[in-house]
Amino acid sequence: MKKNIRIFSILFLAGLMLNVYSSIPALAQYIDNENSFFSYERFYAQLDILNAASESADVRADIKAFMLAFSGGIYDISAGDPEKAKKKLLKARALWPEYFGTDFLLARVNEDTGNYKLSARFYKSYLNELKAFSEGSYRISAPLMRRITPYRIENYDGAYILVRDRLKARGIDLAVVQPFYTMPGFFKLWIIFIILGVVYAIAAYGVIPYIKRWHHINNPPEGSWVCKKCGTYNLNVRIECEKCGERRDGQLKKK
């Protein structure tokens, strides 16, 4: 009986060790995939592709401008200038917001410069766009996305896990992160701009002209009076406005 238990224990330990060793390549592959996934280097191959595509006469002007801005951002990253890269990538994003690669790079650049909260928002935006792409929502632009992406476009589920775990390590819960375009304060800022615009319009076209007219009528040159109808200066000796015939007492000239 003891012999059987000993044999079973040896087989169990051997099986356990075999399982551990067999999982090492898979674990190493996961780590390698993670490092490759978050590496800038997988985007470097896009420089030549983007530059060549931007020279094509078939490419629309706005997409061409996107390619130049995006490739410029990648170049600045490779040159070690993240602040310049941010500006160019934000410009590229504004030109073509559907492309998930732009938000991914903005997430990485902000992450490397210590702005983890903004980085998380770009990661969330990236995942939303990648999901829309994988679900076929970008039927018109999808071929171009594939054309300018030299690496195999990542699977959404796998990308979500990698991003979620990366943010979790920094104490950020991906589930509650808002994507970049719905950042807190974004809509408030637009509301403030609208209110300021309305106030300016009221002041510029209502209040200020009224104040100027009031000041003009009530402060005529010495020896003159101002016609309230047309604003013309008249000498005090005149009873009627020399321009419109309005009487000084407010009665129209009787013909």
* Least confident span in 104-113, 169-178, 199-208: 199-208
Task: Indicate whether 76 belongs to any domain.
Answer: yes
10 Å CB burial of residue 71 (0-12, 13-18, 19+) is buried
Task: Indicate whether 55 belongs to any domain.
Answer: yes
Instruction: Say which DSSP state 60 is in.
Output: -
Total count of domains within the chain: 1
Task: Indicate whether 72 belongs to any domain.
Answer: yes
Task: Indicate whether 66 belongs to any domain.
Answer: yes
Task: Indicate whether 161 belongs to any domain.
Answer: yes
pTM of the complete model = 0.60
Using the predicted structure, report yes or no on whether residue 248 has a pLDDT greater than 50. Answer: yes
* Predicted confidence (pLDDT) per residue in 140-152, tens digit: 889 888 888 877 8
Which among 234, 212, 238 has a CA at the least distance from the CA of 225? Answer: 234
Given a contact cutoff of 8 angstroms between Cβ atoms, the answer to whether 250 and 239 are in contact is no
Measure the CA–CA gap between 148 and 145, rounded to whole angstroms.
5
Residues 6+ apart with CB under 8 A from 95: 62, 63, 65, 66, 69
* Element holding 233 (H helix, E strand): strand 233-235
The 3-state DSSP class for residue 235 equals strand
Average the pLDDT over 125-142 and give the result.
93
Measure the CA–CA gap between 20 and 24, rounded to whole angstroms.
7
Which among 32, 19, 97, 29 has a CA at the least distance from the CA of 63? Answer: 97
* Predicted confidence (pLDDT) per residue in 89-103, tens digit: 999 999 999 999 999
Give how far Cα 140 sits from Cα of 25, 144, 145, Å: 40, 8, 10
Long-range contact pairs involving 139-145 (C-beta distance under 8 Å, separation at least 24)? 141/96, 141/98, 141/99, 144/63, 145/98, 145/99, 145/100, 145/101
CATH of the domain at 69: 1.25.40
Q: What is the phi/psi pair of residue 233, to 5°?
A: -75, 135
Q: What is the model's pLDDT at position 189?
A: 53
* Least confident span in 24-38, 87-101, 106-120, 127-141: 24-38
Domain ranges, residue 86: 41-184
Given a contact cutoff of 8 angstroms between Cβ atoms, the answer to whether 161 and 130 are in contact is no
Task: Indicate whether 239 belongs to any domain.
Answer: no
Task: Indicate whether 253 belongs to any domain.
Answer: no
pLDDT grade, residue 169 (50/70/90)?
very high
Q: What is the DSSP string of 139-153?
A: TTTHHHHHHT--SPP
Task: State which amino acid sits at residue 96.
Answer: W
Give how far Cα 122 sits from Cα of 63, 74, 79, 109, 229, Å: 21, 16, 22, 10, 60
Task: Indicate whether 64 belongs to any domain.
Answer: yes
Token match 């985007």: residue? 43
